[in-house]
Amino acid sequence: MPDLDPIGSMDRVLSDIVAGVQARPPYPSSPQQKWRNKLQVAIKGSVSSRRIILTGSWSHGTPIAGFSDVDHFVVLRGERPLSSHTALEQLMDTFENNLSRNSDISLSVPTVSILDPFDGNILEYAPAYPEEGGGYWIPGIGEEIWLLSDPVAHITFINRADRASSRARMLIRLVKAWKYANGAQIMSLYLEMLTARLLLEGGTGRYLDDLVGVLTIMLRGRLAEIPDPSASRPRFIAALAGETSSAARELALLADSIDRLHRVEAAAKGGANDQAELYLREIFQFGKARHVDRNSRVFATRRDPTRNYLAGVRSESPRASRYSSDSPRGKL
């Protein structure tokens, strides 16, 4: 008997794929969470901070296992220095002088990174200063600049999309799973805001069709910057970050992925569900893509040059290599 809903069948396969790569936080009573709690206490006790807030994918409910860094803002007291690199170096020095000698710490502009020894995740901390009108000033990349970021506005926008469709976070995770499985160097924030906007404007109610829709928007727009729909003041989000990012490469990848997804659709509608599923799973091959290095000491190069929460940033700073694994460590 022919499948009366072939695209629905592919949606179920996509749901299984995304469920399989969904990242989950550690249990509150686990040794890992206790270690993280101890780290937070040590950080708060070593810097003049108002609070530490979770940002990025983990705060949005859209992280992908093995890929999404755990981003934080360390909200600092006092006057914001003119140079964002000054604030970063001060935070790095404070971490080195006050955290455990065994802590794996690295300055990875625009954050200070700490390796979670339990699962290889990277915990990232950006110095942040509150802006009177809302949001936080955080370091930029490449120049000694500050960028305004509003994590509350970002999650509010995603919540709006989720209320409108009840599936925004699932579709966002699907788009980000495509990104990591295919090695796309497109900013996570760009993907999240673009996907949420598509759903607020309608969407199709089908994961396969909406995935094609998001990729097609990027291809037709040639990865142009998009207005930050969550920002209270004019701001744009860049698609690419890092000097190694190539618009031509990403556009070719988008075109190829769209073509392959159309093959999935054609095979499913033709009754070749097994072939359609095979095509679909080939697009989401994570085996070679995983890049968590559990043996890494300090990260000589960034695992993912596209940030979750820094919009408009395009290049890495050469100063990121200043610190090595031989840097002295203080005690907790």
Given a cut of 70, whether residue 1 has pLDDT beyond it is no
Given a cut of 80, whether residue 144 has pLDDT beyond it is no
Burial category of 152 from C-beta neighbours within 10 Å (exposed 0-12, middle 13-18, buried 19 and up): middle
- pLDDT score at 44: 87
**261 versus 243: which is more confidently predicted?**
261
Given a cut of 70, whether residue 300 has pLDDT beyond it is no
Q: What is the dihedral of CA 173, 179, 180, 183, to 10 degrees?
A: 180
Residue 287: its H or E element: none
Q: How far is CA 38 from the centre of its chain?
A: 24
Single pTM value for the model: 0.84
User: 131-145, 179-193, 213-227, 273-287: which range is least confident on average?
Assistant: 131-145
Residue 46: its H or E element: helix 31-46
pLDDT digits (tens, 9 = 90+) for 175-201: 999 999 999 999 999 999 999 999 999
Partner residues linked to 105 by β-bridges: 114
The span from the first CA to the last CA of the chain, in angstroms, equals 66
**Residues recorded for the chain:** 332
Integer-rounded Cα radius of gyration of the chain: 21
Given a cut of 70, whether residue 32 has pLDDT beyond it is yes
- pLDDT score at 49: 87
- pLDDT score at 305: 43
Both structure tokens of 299: 């990260």
| Fold (topology level) of 31-148 | Beta Polymerase; domain 2 (3.30.460)
Partner residues linked to 127 by β-bridges: 74
**Which CA distances in Å does 57 have to 118, 158, 235?**
20, 11, 20
pLDDT digits (tens, 9 = 90+) for 256-277: 999 999 999 999 999 999 999 9
Burial category of 124 from C-beta neighbours within 10 Å (exposed 0-12, middle 13-18, buried 19 and up): buried
pLDDT digits (tens, 9 = 90+) for 54-92: 999 999 999 999 889 999 999 999 899 999 999 999 899
The type of residue at 146 is: W
**179 versus 99: which is more confidently predicted?**
179
Find the mean pLDDT for residues 171-176: 97
Contact 314, 240 (CB under 8 A): yes
* pLDDT bracket for residue 292 (50, 70, 90): very low
21 phi, psi to nearest 5 deg? -110, 10
Contact 126, 111 (CB under 8 A): yes
